Structure formats: structure tokens, C-alpha cells
Amino acid sequence: MKQFVIASKNEGKIKEIKNALHGLNLELLSLADFPDIPDIEEDGRTFEENAIKKAKTVFEHTKITTFADDSGLEVEHLRNAPGVYSKRFSGDNSTDELNNEKLLKELEGLDIDERRARFRCVISIYNPFINELSFEGKCEGYIIDEPKGTNGFGYDPLFVPEGYHKTFAELDLVTKNKISHRGRALAHLRTYLEKYVS
């Protein structure tokens, strides 16, 4: 059975990745199994740069093929900000709540057709033989003018995916994972791994 490391400590993310890759002949470890690996600064200009940096750095420590992801929200009216700064949108002491407040303020008074946005996720895989490979998923939608729903995290209460009338925070997790940027990137990764690990 081939071993892989998921370059994350986030239990929700690890669980989502394990579910998406369920049934494949692989053993999935995570950063919880390597507590001595220091935090990796996400200083890339793109999601892909950050994901590749994390995957390579964790490989250097573990010598095991590693997956890493990076994701965020792009808002058209803000020229695709906050993008790679999604987590830190409201500054050094950002919280999900402060980020959402700032986003609402930036879009105040705009019509629905000026509130278009997308979530984007890149998952990269690294080992010295395949080098680096990246899989991308996106989910188009728009930002509403007040938070709705209590599920999820981050910008979920403000984001309504295209074709739906509920925010990510109002949808159940199974539905969100099917249509989300991360769910779609993971589906591409699974298709690749089905050939690679068989």
C-alpha cells in the first residue's frame, strides 16, 4: 500500500480528503503524524505556488509523496481579491467574522450582478519522480449582502453558489463537498490517483 502525507493539521480538511480518496489502495498520513515539521509560511502570489511550496517542504522532511492544498475567494469587483490573502483579509488579527464584515463593506450598495465571486482551490502533489502536479477546482457564485447560515467556516455565510438559493453555510456538508472548489479539485486528484496507485 502506497503512503502519502496530507500537508495539513486541519482535522476537517483531513477528513474531507480521506473521504474523497476512500477505497483507493493508499495509506494517508497527515501533519499530525509529523509534529516536528515547523509551520510553513504561505507567501506565494498564487494558490498553486503556495500548494507546491507546502507539498515540497513536507516531502523534504518526510521523504513521502505529499499532497497540499491552498484555496480562497476571488471577488470580481475587487479585482479577484482577497485571493491568496483570504485568511488575512482584515489584517494580522483577522477572524472569519472580521473578514466577512470587511467584504460586506467593500461591496456595500452593489447590485447582485456586481457581486460575482468564485472559490478556487489548488491541490498539488510532490515527489522527486513525478516532480510537481497540480489539480484545480473552482465554484462560481455571488456574495449576498448579509450573512446567512451557521454551517462551514470562512466566507461560507456570504457565498451563494451558482444554481442555488442558499449560502454554503446553509447547505449541508455533503452537498457543499460535491460542488465546492475543494470537492472538485479532489475529484481530479482521485481520477489521477486511480491510475497512479492501481
Query: Which residue in the block uniquely carries the three cell numbers 486541519?
Result: 10
* Residue 23 CB burial class (10 angstroms; 0-12, 13-18, ≥19): exposed
Question: For ligand IMP, which residue of 30, 86, 134, 167 counts as binding (CB under 6 A)?
Answer: 86
Q: Which three cell numbers stand for residue 27?
A: 495509506
List the catalytic residue out of 33, 39, 69, 70: 70
- DSSP code per residue over 82-135: EGGGGGGTT-TT--HHHHHHHHHHHTTT--GGG-EEEEEEEEEEEETTTEEEEE
Size of the site for ligand IMP (CB under 6 A): 15
Site string for ligand IMP, 169-188 (x = CB under 6 A): -----------x--------
Question: For ligand IMP, which residue of 4, 59, 126, 168 counts as binding (CB under 6 A)?
Answer: 168
Q: Which three cell numbers stand for residue 157?
A: 455565510
Instruction: Residue count of the chain, please give it.
Output: 198
Q: Which three cell numbers stand for residue 191?
A: 481520477
Q: Which three cell numbers stand for residue 3?
A: 503512503
User: What is the rounded CA–CA span in Å between residue 9 and residue 25?
Assistant: 22
Q: Does 153 bind ligand IMP (CB under 6 A)?
A: yes
Largest CA distance in the chain: 55
Least distance CB 175 / ligand IMP (angstroms):
13
Site string for ligand IMP, 111-140 (x = CB under 6 A): --------x---------------------
Q: Does 154 bind ligand IMP (CB under 6 A)?
A: yes
Which listed range, 16-24, 57-65, 129-137, 149-157, lies at the site for ligand IMP (CB under 6 A)? 149-157
Q: Does 90 bind ligand IMP (CB under 6 A)?
A: no
- DSSP code per residue over 31-68: GGG-TTSPP-----SSHHHHHHHHHHHHHHHH-S-EEE
Which listed range, 68-76, 108-116, 140-148, 183-191, lies at the site for ligand IMP (CB under 6 A)? 68-76
| 70 noted as active-site residue | yes
CB closer to ligand IMP out of 149 and 190: 149
Least distance CB 106 / ligand IMP (angstroms):
15
Q: Which three cell numbers stand for residue 135?
A: 489539480
List residues with catalytic annotation.
70
- The residues binding ligand IMP (CB under 6 A) are 69-73, 86-87, 119, 152-156, 168, 180
